[in-house]
Structure 1
Amino acid sequence: MELKRGGDGKIKYATVKDLLGDEEIRIEADKYVVCAGAILTPGILWKSGFKKTHPALGRFLTEQTLAFCQVILRSDLVNNIPGDNLGCQHALDKHKEKFDEDPVPFPFEDDDPQIYLPVTEDRLWHAQIHRDAFSYGQTPPGIDQRLVVDLRFYGPVKPTSQNRVEFSDSITDAYGMPQPTFYYKLSTVDACIAHDMMSDMIQVARHLGGWVPGSEPKMLEPGASLHICGTTRAGTKIEDSVVNEKSQVWKCENLYLGGCNVVPGPNASNPTLTAMCFALEGAEDIIKSFKPAPK
């Protein structure tokens, strides 16, 4: 995909490729919205020549640090469920009646746990205790899935201009999009927060049980949180942002961007709702620019 600008700075048209028909399509519109993710969105703008006029493009990249481990629940916790207080005694009794030899009291069809610990002033990270389907953290054979919980702790990283993604002017992928290269490093403060977050996760995990072999506490590699932000971030001036508070690209009044890439600051919670708020502001701004059709 590529955007073509006119002499007035506005987008004249966009070109996209139909992969099924293997043909290039030209799209003309009054307003354009690019929402292709935190890496592909700046990649499209980079390919379209915006790097020359928008110095913050691809910069101020930030994403959460992520600590992870898996725990096998302690037997005393498993065997002493306060069923009456939680209103689940009937389910426990029914499972015991049907599967008398099952050493685990949890029903087979019982929902997985979903526990969320929000960010506080003293704890700058948020925690999730659950069982979820990720590409990592698969339970080894021979361990009952009902006894395993995942711990994921997400910490903030302050955006800086040096943390960025740049795109090649000569190397492209199979779709003709420029190759990204990442430059990313935690500051001393961010690393200390991540260390404290890891210590907190270990303390919580020790109350629950022991580690699943191969899933001992670890910091996952950059990108694992899937919450990259800031690469086309919102701001008040073109020197350190790509869009304004309405998600409109500076000096290009008919182009808007969407996604977590417009979120400008550090965050330790899921940024999707924040990105949605920016999108709503942008949509309202677009609607206001259109004149009502004559009756």
Structure 2
Amino acid sequence: MSRYPAAVDVAIVGSGPNGAAYARILSEEAPEAVIAMFEVGPTVSAPAGAHVKNIVDAEERRAAQAASQGPARDAETVSSPGAVKAGARTARPGTYLLEDGFRVDGEDGLPVIAFSSNVGGMGAHWTGACPRPGGSERIPFLPDLDELLDEADRLLGVTTDAFDDAPFTALVRERLADAVDPGREEGARVQRMPLAVHRREDGALVWSGSDVVMGDVTRANPNFALHDETLVLRVLLEDGRAAGVEVQDRRTGEKHTVRARFVVVAADGLRTAQVLYASGIRPAALGRMLNDQAQVVYAARIADAAEVAARAGGASGESFGERDVIDGAISEQSGVSWVPYTDEEPFHGQIMQLDASPVPLADEDPVVPGSIVGLGLFTAKDLQWDDRVEFRDDATDAYGLPAMRIRYRLTARDHEVLDRARARIVELAEAVGEPLGERPFTMPPGASLHYQGATRMGASDDGRSVCGPDSEVWGAPGVFVAGNNVIPTATACNPTLTSVALGIRGARSIVRRLS
């Protein structure tokens, strides 16, 4: 007997935060609708879709990350983005790289473009940063964008106070503000980074994954079912509109057809376009305007940290346990500050205290917890029609879908903005304290994991977009796309909040048509 239903109202391809947003809104607003969610990877955490950073046992956490790495499950990974060396092609835990086709000779390509295959998608591994877009990052033809962003905050469980007790956070923001805030509008000034994380009553941190987005209402919905280890081969159309999906059980290899009135493809920034292509849904803009956020990183040390701590009556040499340091990312002693994007300074800053220095320090120079500050600036891409992901008819990937080939160049404007970002990050490091290392490091293209544009949204069907304002694919009624790939603007800020907001709009459109 098949583990799949014969028919549903809504089929959702992908279990990341965006697919989860559709499941949540449908469960809340159309509880009678029958929903099936399909995920190519395994369930790696409990509840299903939970962030792996919530797994206390280090070995269990590493096993969950390895299980998320799909065809590269046994490949070597590097635990911190700051540890990536120029030209190195090493994925972060929980992700795997595109094996071939990541760069065409003579182009920049995206050499460290990466994916995750697991229930929860990249939402089981992300940093949780949820800043709002500003200036030209905003989508001008969505009058309800702010309300949608508010709703996305709710679904993702966004807070700004989880790290208020971390050492030196107020000091870091104060020093950054002195360098950044003059001349900026209030909303664009240095502030706490909105994060999809909260503290339980016992003080433990809980990071949001797709489990938080789905919420209890989805898990308790008898009409919702999640099918892991299931590859969606193609979206089925009848008379040009959505009719269901063809799936393959990864455990048995058997293929099945699941009929559906609506299909939501939320596979990820590139695989959403791949599924459409494999389904014969190929609008002119499919895969086009692909964009990544180039990233510059640097570090500084609060040289007077011991004195500041002493004046505040705090300890200056506490030790922290293994639970506090997870894969070199945000830890218990981290404070996370945000330097918002502006059109005048087209980069977005994510500033956080680190658990260790990224460069060697003298043995006699102990690190005061929270005194090492990591600075990252993401830059907005100069959008180009020819930056794209292509799909091959003569080759397949590890899952048997059309193989990808990336065509991607940095323009003269991109290089100019990167030069400005490198100069600015040095200024910010000097404002915070004592810069560490001779110069900032520019991450290899693709390192941001923030891939956008491949199924971009448009105000009208003018050939330059894949879907409309409700995320419904032009010319394929009933087929919706979701994810960072839907965002049509050049952004520098972390895109998940925005893409979830767009998913909420799409889900509401389905709700109206189900009733």
Fold shared by both chains (TM-score > 0.5): yes
Give the structure 2 partner of residue 108 of structure 1: 319
CA distance in 2, matches of 1:177, 1:21: 18
CA distance in 2, matches of 1:200, 1:4: 50
**Is contact 1:159-1:230 (8 Å) kept?**
no
CA distance in 1, matches of 2:485, 2:358: 30
Q: Secondary structure at the match of 1:38?
A: coil
Instruction: Report the AA paired with residue 122 of structure 1.
Output: E
Of residues 183-192 and 240-249 in structure 1, the stretch that sits farther from structure 2 once superposed is 183-192
Give the structure 2 partner of residue 50 of structure 1: 281
CA distance in 1, matches of 2:309, 2:499: 40
Q: CA deviation at 1:27?
A: 1.1
Q: Secondary structure at the match of 1:80?
A: helix
Task: Pick the aligned partner of 1:124 from 334, 346, 356.
Answer: 346
C-alpha root-mean-square deviation of aligned residues, in Å? 2.3
Give the structure 2 partner of residue 223 of structure 1: 446
Q: Following superposition of structure 1 onto structure 2, how do residues 142-157 of structure 1 map, counting pairs within 5 Å? A: 144=367, 146=369, 147-157=371-381
Q: CA deviation at 1:212?
A: 4.8
CA distance in 2, matches of 1:123, 1:265: 16
Closer/same/farther in 2, CA of residues 112 and 139 from structure 1, 3 Å limit:
farther
**Is contact 1:69-1:211 (8 Å) kept?**
yes
Give the structure 2 partner of residue 4 of structure 1: 236
**Is contact 1:139-1:145 (8 Å) kept?**
no
Higher relative contact order (CA 8 A, sep 6+): 1
CA distance in 1, matches of 2:448, 2:405: 18
**Is contact 1:158-1:265 (8 Å) kept?**
no
Task: Give % identity.
Answer: 27
Q: How many residues align?
A: 265
Q: CA deviation at 1:194?
A: 1.5
Give the structure 2 partner of residue 81 of structure 1: 308
CA distance in 1, matches of 2:286, 2:423: 35
Closer/same/farther in 2, CA of residues 3 and 196 from structure 1, 3 Å limit:
same
Closer/same/farther in 2, CA of residues 283 and 74 from structure 1, 3 Å limit:
closer
Instruction: Report the AA paired with residue 318 of structure 2.
Output: P
TM-score, with structure 2 as normaliser: 0.48
Q: Cα deviations across residues 166-214 of structure 1 (Å, max 9, x unaligned)? A: 011121122111211111112222221121011000122234213258x
> Does 2:247 align with 1:16?
yes
> Does 2:443 align with 1:209?
no
Q: CA deviation at 1:106?
A: 4.6
Closer/same/farther in 2, CA of residues 270 and 290 from structure 1, 3 Å limit:
same
Q: Cα deviations across residues 148-168 of structure 1 (Å, max 9, x unaligned)? A: 321110111132211100011
**Is contact 1:2-1:48 (8 Å) kept?**
yes
Instruction: Report the AA paired with residue 234 of structure 2.
Output: E
Unaligned runs of 5+ in 1: 96-104
Instruction: Report the AA paired with residue 211 of structure 1.
Output: L
The structure having more radius of gyration, on CA atoms, is 1
**Is contact 2:297-2:374 (8 Å) kept?**
yes
CA distance in 1, matches of 2:243, 2:374: 49
Of residues 20-29 and 218-227 in structure 1, the stretch that sits farther from structure 2 once superposed is 20-29
TM-score, with structure 1 as normaliser: 0.82
**Is contact 1:58-1:165 (8 Å) kept?**
yes
Q: Secondary structure at the match of 2:345?
A: coil
Instruction: Report the AA paired with residue 385 of structure 2.
Output: S
Instruction: Report the AA paired with residue 127 of structure 1.
Output: G
Unaligned runs of 5+ in 2: 1-232, 321-331
Q: Secondary structure at the match of 1:285?
A: helix
Q: Secondary structure at the match of 1:30?
A: strand
